[in-house]
Chain A
């Protein structure tokens, strides 16, 4: 089957020598909902801007539905929808007018335009608010309007850059419910960037993890978690320096990950392994202050493949920026 999105050894170096993408290999099948998960500055937005033909890669290849984004940029733009991270509607127009203007820019013929807008607005449940200026909308409504305008041309691939950034959980849920409706109807491929792990976990059929310009692993949430191992015993330790080799030699232990003051021991059956792990540490003179058992999360997956913790730094700043944009109107 033709791939919806494909990247081969994709590199982007910005003018100042910043290597934003460092050889990305990626493929997403048609009809999938794919999440590109990574911390801020990992290269998510750069990758999406290349796929959406806004900027050119320094080297390597990027394709959307088989079309090269550099050579066939104009063709690519006819089959994709895109919602940037920042607000992309005019706040001094009404919701209806925004859709109307975008429909005209897309060149949707007059005959089908009115019906299409009506259909989209009722699907969104926004018919009541359609005449109000967008500056009176909530963040969630603005996002839904943006998604609607990106879907006007019934794209084959919908690119969403941080679709729910700055939204509260209920607004977030509403956004994804809308996306679900459109997906059911049109079978569109959804490619979204996020730094919210739970968002990727909940809504993506497949997740790619990106860090420092490289896609380090791809799989379903379940696959990725399984790849970390079964279950995790997290230990806070004190006393002697910790030597992971002894734990690794224990029969039931699959992996040992060190993270700051914590030790994460990956095992199949945490309840059974815990006594043996504690015993092993006691023999080394390492005392355990606290022990907890957790099932793996995407955070653990990230830690395993990226080698660092998933940092939420900068998130507050982005949210503030988003709010400012909405207010500015």
Chain B
């Protein structure tokens, strides 16, 4: 695994963002609606036990993660585009290993996700969400977002290796993100869900990501953080491994 190739992929993404940031802003519209409209209205009926946290603050980490996961999942679309053009073929013919291409591109989605989060945070502040006032915790949350985005992007590259066309991918992107979102602890505690869904939420990586980010940015209670990080790391490694193996398929 060549580190220079990994760095190059991240730099590629940073340079792309420097040239064109429009997507970051348009993708911030949906989170704005969640925390600006849905949050306050749902919060006003006080039907959801949030452990004393205002409802809008409770869902902010969930909305943040939903939005950054969306970025990662749709990163597979970039790979589909690069397959249709010659970029992927050319990358495969460089000395960089396939695993480093997969991990590099997946983590490049993490770079994009961090910037997406940085666009949403000021919106949340404007709406009145109060973040846990520890800058180290906030940095840690960005780290968690970066790390988990890699896993989701690898998942989407795995899907891309089967679908291969952008039209098919568009539908799947939605069909992947929303079940992960709704069957997680993003909008409500897992305990409120029907039993079957609770089981799913337990293995849903997004639950762990939301939990980690919520503890770091809102509650400041990091007692579960170790477990969350372990789950995220395991998810990443499994996804990287499967996506690397199936990467051959995308070019055939």
- Total contacts A-B at CB 8 Å: 82
By beta carbon, the residue of chain A nearest B2 is A107
Instruction: Please tell me which one of the listed residues B7, B19, B92, B97 contacts residue A92 in the complex, with CB atoms under 8 A apart.
Output: B19
A84 and B89 in contact, given A104-B5, A107-B4 (Cβ under 8 angstroms): yes
A residues 76-118 with Cβ under 8 Å of B?
Answer: 77-78, 80, 82-90, 92-93, 97, 101-102, 104-107
Bound-state CA distance A106–B2 (Å) is: 9
**Do B85 and A88 have beta carbons less than 8 Å apart?**
yes
Contacts of B19 in A (CB 8 A): 92-93, 133
CB distance from B31 to the nearest CB of A (A): 24
Contacts of A87 in B (CB 8 A): 85-87
By beta carbon, the residue of chain B nearest A84 is B86
Contacts of B93 in A (CB 8 A): 52-54, 77, 80, 82
**Do B87 and A101 have beta carbons less than 8 Å apart?**
no
By beta carbon, the residue of chain A nearest B94 is A105
CB distance from B9 to the nearest CB of A (A): 8
A325 within 8 Å of B (CB atoms): yes
Pick from B15, B19, B87, B89 the residue with the most CB of A within 10 Å: B89
CB distance from B80 to the nearest CB of A (A): 13
Contacts of B251 in A (CB 8 A): 54-55
By beta carbon, the residue of chain A nearest B251 is A54
Scan B75-87; emit 1 where CB is below 8 A from any A CB, else 0: 0000001001111
A residues 43-91 with Cβ under 8 Å of B?
Answer: 49, 52-55, 74, 77-78, 80, 82-90
Bound-state CA distance A78–B94 (Å) is: 7
Contacts of A78 in B (CB 8 A): 95
Contacts of A86 in B (CB 8 A): 84-86, 89
By beta carbon, the residue of chain A nearest B20 is A92
A106 and B85 in contact, given A54-B251, A55-B251, A133-B19 (Cβ under 8 angstroms): no
**Do B4 and A84 have beta carbons less than 8 Å apart?**
no
Contacts of B9 in A (CB 8 A): 105
Contact surface of A with B, Cβ cutoff 8 Å: 14-15, 49, 52-55, 74, 77-78, 80, 82-90, 92-93, 97, 101-102, 104-107, 133, 150, 325, 328
Contact surface of B with A, Cβ cutoff 8 Å: 2, 4-5, 7-9, 11-12, 15-16, 19-20, 81, 84-87, 89-97, 251-252
Pairs A–B under 8 Å by Cβ, sample size 9: A15-B252, A54-B92, A84-B89, A84-B90, A101-B12, A101-B15, A102-B94, A107-B4, A133-B19
Additional 10 contacts, C-beta under 8 A, given A74-B95, A97-B15? A77-B93, A82-B89, A88-B85, A88-B90, A93-B15, A104-B4, A105-B8, A106-B94, A107-B2, A107-B4
